[in-house]
Structure formats: C-alpha cells, structure tokens
Amino acid sequence: MHFLKNRGFVHAHSSEITPRASYEGRRDALKLIGTGVAGSALAAWAARDAHAQVARAGKLAPLAGARSALSGGMTMEKPTPYADITSYNNFYEFGTDKADPEKNAHTLKTRPWTVAIEGEVKKPKTYDIDELLKLAPLEERIYRLRCVEGWSMVIPWVGYSMAELIKRVEPTGNAKYVEFVTLVDPKTMPFVGSRVLEWPYVEGLRLDEAMHPLALLAFGLYGEVLPNQNGAPVRAVLPWKYGFKSGKSIVKIRFTDKQPPTSWVKSASQEYGFFSNVNPSVDHPRWSQATERRIGEDGLFSKKRATLMFNGYEPQVGQLYAGMDLKKFY
C-alpha cells in the first residue's frame, strides 16, 4: 500500500484531474486581439487588461501594483479568470479537495497578523502585516503557476521581490537556507488535525533562490488583496517551481545553515524533492510531468500542452542550478 494511502489520502493522477471550464471574458479578449490596430505585444496587454476587468470579483479590498519593470520573466499569456484562481486551490489546512479551500477558508482571520524573521540574521524582527506590506513598492507580476498534479494557471500577482525583505534583515555568513512556516490554527483551519501532513506546513529555499528577483512575496492578485484560499495575507510565489513550494499564510521566515526539513519531503521524499523545480523530463512516480492542462482554457478532452523546463523561466533561473544533476536533485 502506498505511503500516502496509509495516511488516508491519495493524490489524484493527472489524468483524473478535471479543470473548471470557465471562459469569462474570452470573447472580449479575442475582439481586442483581432482589431489589428496594435502590435502583438500591445494587443496582448490590452487583452489582459480587458480580461482583468471582467474577471475580477470586486469584493475584496483593492491592492494596486505598478506594472513590473523586471527584465524578463513576465508572461504575455492571458491570465486565468479570477473565478478559477480562487476556486481551484491546494491549501490542505482547509481540505484536500480543490474546492474545499474556497468553501472553508472564510474562517481564517488575517488581522491582526505578524511575520517573525528569525535565525541567522543580524536584524531579527517581527513585522506587522501592514508594515511588511509597505516595505517596498508593490508590483503586478504575471506569472505562470504549474502544480505537481499536472495543471497550470496564469496569475497576476501583486507583491515585491523577497530580496527586498532579505536585504533589510541582513543574513549572516552562516545563512544558507530560508525556511517558510505557515500558520497552524485548529480553530480557523479545520483540516490541520488530518494526517495528510505534519503541521505546520513548512517549505524552504536556498538563500540564492530566495534572493532571485523572480521570487515574490505576494499580498494580492488581480489588483485586490489575496483571498483567504489563495494564502492571505502573505505568501511566497516561486514561478519556476511546482506550486506546493510557494508557502501560504506565512507567519515565520527563518534563516538557517542547514537545509530545512520541508513538509512534503518529510511526508514522501521519494515523490517530492527539496528543489521541486518544474522539469518535464523528471516524472512523478505515478504520472508524467511532460504535459499539463491549463485551468479555465483546456477542457478535459483537449490536447494537453507541453510543460516547459523551469515552467518557462529557464533563461532567468537556469544558472542557479548550473552543474547540478537535476534528476538527482529533483
């Protein structure tokens, strides 16, 4: 019997994952692209902006970010509809079904909220969430998200590079890794009593990965604060790694000299490695990673699209892993 099955939970095989079929705003975007008035890049941006207007729920507090000036890494693909981004989630503290977080995360209280910076830093500090929010100018960054189960999205996040925070707390020479710890609260997170994982949820990065300009601390999406089910009030976003590496509802960031024991590595190291970079040539033991299905666009019977190395961010992050055996260090 499989290791996770003994814990009372089995991951769905990628062929069993049925994405939500949502095409909100699609015709509007196609009309804009079809006018031929602007060049392809301008048309893509116009389509994206028009799509955002029809896709946003408009129910949460606004959180605007300037369009990122980051060189490289921004995708020109059409963002996934807001309705899909906020209703098809992995957040096991609120349930293991993709629809569970939207149904259950209303119990999460995001104020007051603090994030403690600990470990190998010269300036440890506990930040109030509003202080953390104002630490650096907010940007909108449109990143692909690729989940280990074989589905993907395109999400317009609002946040700033993790490096902005890291530079302020001044890691010591002993700091080699960064550990991210998620809130664990049985009163507001009904599934933390389950045996799917050890709680709290812990993720980690090498320091150079966390310092990379693409590594994002996100506070919002689609120009609004993060919905609870998407990791409010602050989460990590690492677009070149599988989605589970991007810890949600972070309460602690610890700098260490040793690789932190992360939740999925502790649970099933034969399936989930510490690095978990998107790699179409390294399959999950129970399904291929060579293709994916885009939520909101690709129907169950549509031809799957090819998965890109590092989720398409190889030109930006490939040098971080130069000389490494990416099948051994998966």
Q: What is the mean pLDDT of residues 53-61?
A: 64
CA-wise closest residue to 151 among 327, 16, 245, 274:
16
For residue 14, pLDDT beyond 80: no
In a domain, 326, yes or no: no
Give the tokens for residue 174.
């002993």
12 confidence band (pLDDT: 50, 70, 90): very low
In a domain, 59, yes or no: yes
In a domain, 230, yes or no: yes
Residues 250-271: tens digit of each pLDDT: 999 999 999 999 999 999 999 9
Q: How far apart are CA 295 and CA 307, in angstroms?
A: 14
In a domain, 330, yes or no: no
Percent of the chain, pLDDT > 70?
Answer: 82
pLDDT at res. 325: 96
In a domain, 160, yes or no: yes
> Residue 181's beta-bridge partner residues?
202, 252
Residue that has been written with the tokens 């994952």 in this structure: 17
One-letter amino acid for residue 283 of the chain: D
Domain count, the chain: 1
164 confidence band (pLDDT: 50, 70, 90): very high
In a domain, 328, yes or no: no
60 confidence band (pLDDT: 50, 70, 90): very high
> Whole-model pTM?
0.83
For residue 215, pLDDT beyond 70: yes
In a domain, 327, yes or no: no
One-letter amino acid for residue 39 of the chain: G
3 confidence band (pLDDT: 50, 70, 90): very low
**DSSP line for 19-65:** -----TTHHHHHHHHHT-SS-HHHHHHHHHHHHHHHH----S-B---
Strands of 193-327, DSSP E: 202-206, 216-221, 224-225, 235-237, 250-256, 291-294, 305-306
CA-wise closest residue to 48 among 88, 87, 80:
80
pLDDT at res. 26: 38
Strands of the chain, DSSP E: 66-67, 114-119, 125-128, 139-146, 151-161, 177-182, 202-206, 216-221, 224-225, 235-237, 250-256, 291-294, 305-306
For residue 278, pLDDT beyond 50: yes
311 confidence band (pLDDT: 50, 70, 90): very high
Q: What is the mean pLDDT of residues 39-66?
A: 58
Give the CATH number of the domain where residue 266 resides: 3.90.420.10
In a domain, 312, yes or no: yes
Domain that holds residue 169: 3-321
The overall average pLDDT reported for the chain is: 86
Strands 216-221, 250-256: pairing kind? unpaired
